[in-house]
Amino acid sequence: MTATPATPAPAVHDRWVALPQGRLFTRTWEPAPAAGAAPILMLHDSLGCVALWRDFPALLSQATGRRVIAYDRWGFGRSDPRPDLPSPGFVAEEASLVLPALCEQLGLDTYVALGHSVGGGMSVCAAAAQPTRCRALVTIAAQVFAEDRTLEGIRAAREQFEDPQQLERLAKYHGDKAGWVLHAWTDTWLSPPFADWTLVPLLPQVRVPALAIHGEEDEYGTTRHATLIGQGCAGPVQVELLQGIGHVPQREDPPRVAGLIAAFLERHDGAPAAA
């Protein structure tokens, strides 16, 4: 019996992109051969960066046959430092101010928006704001409003980060920007102006195919977020609630999550939004 050849690992390319805010670090995983479908653009969580996606982008590229592109948001990872903390409108601002310019620099006419945690909220905004360029939406453990469980989890994490060793671990990925990254998360989410933040009214503007993945044991948000995405989006929506999975499904069960995304994109193939 002839063994089935293994899928080759995707080629990896790093690039810094100059935007008005500063340089952003990007990494691309290119499968061989690459499908002609829209690439997947990944938006990280509140403490995340390209490196913290770990091996998942390569796995996702192999599973889908698509280019996968991740970037460090301004102030995070290997991107330029940011002097000020994000405003209460930072989720929508990432989609309206950063993503269009980033896509222009990278030559992306179309993409699939994939976001984890707050990156999922940014992906929702991108799908609503750019229905022609954004062909499909994938959220993983996304939040769409400031839920009590989310805020309680952030308060608990803030206490844990009083241990200097915790901040040292964060510095492995963000360098001397680690303190800023922590405050950008905790100070913004726990500020009074952010208490009424919600993306729920925006969901009917999402007409592209959407996949919402959420762990039933997510310590930073109940499955209510995924349910709201399923109920609110105007296009076809698939909701996957994963038993025994917490806030980072792509790290807790990477093959399953990559398989769900690959099957979803194969069905919808990044089709343009309905009129």
pLDDT at 33: 76
Q: Which domain holds residue 132?
A: 11-145+199-268
pLDDT at 270: 52
Instruction: Determine the Cα–Cα distance for residues 246 and 219; give it in Å rounded to an integer.
Output: 6
pLDDT at 223: 98
- To 5 degrees, how large is the angle CA 99–CA 100–CA 106? 85
pLDDT at 107: 95
Of 231, 241, 236, which is closest to residue 201 (Cα–Cα)? Answer: 231
In a domain, 36, yes or no: yes
pLDDT at 250: 98
Other C-beta atoms lying within 10 Å of the C-beta of residue 165:
9
DSSP string computed for 49-67: -SGGGTTHHHHHHHHH-S-
In a domain, 44, yes or no: yes
Burial tier of 201 (Cβ tally within 10 Å: 0-12, 13-18, 19+): exposed
Regarding pTM above 0.75, the answer is: yes
In a domain, 194, yes or no: no
Residues with Cβ within 8 Å of residue 176, at least 6 apart in sequence: none
Strands 40-43 and 68-71: parallel
Instruction: Determine the Cα–Cα distance for residues 107 and 95; give it in Å rounded to an integer.
Output: 17
Which one-letter amino acid corresponds to residue 236?
Answer: P
Token pair 């930072």: residue:
90
pLDDT at 32: 81
In a domain, 188, yes or no: no
The residues of the chain scoring below 50 in pLDDT are: 1-4, 271-275
CA distances from 219 to 144, 151, 152 (A): 15, 10, 9
Q: Note the Cα 259 to chain centre separation in Å.
A: 17
Query: Which CATH number belongs to the domain containing residue 244 in this structure?
Result: 3.40.50.1820
In a domain, 90, yes or no: yes
In a domain, 159, yes or no: no
In a domain, 183, yes or no: no
Q: Note the Cα 107 to chain centre separation in Å.
A: 20
Q: Note the Cα 135 to chain centre separation in Å.
A: 15
Q: Residue 134 — φ and ψ, nearest 5°? A: -85, 110
Instruction: Determine the Cα–Cα distance for residues 186 and 273; give it in Å rounded to an integer.
Output: 35
User: For the chain, what is the domain count?
Assistant: 1
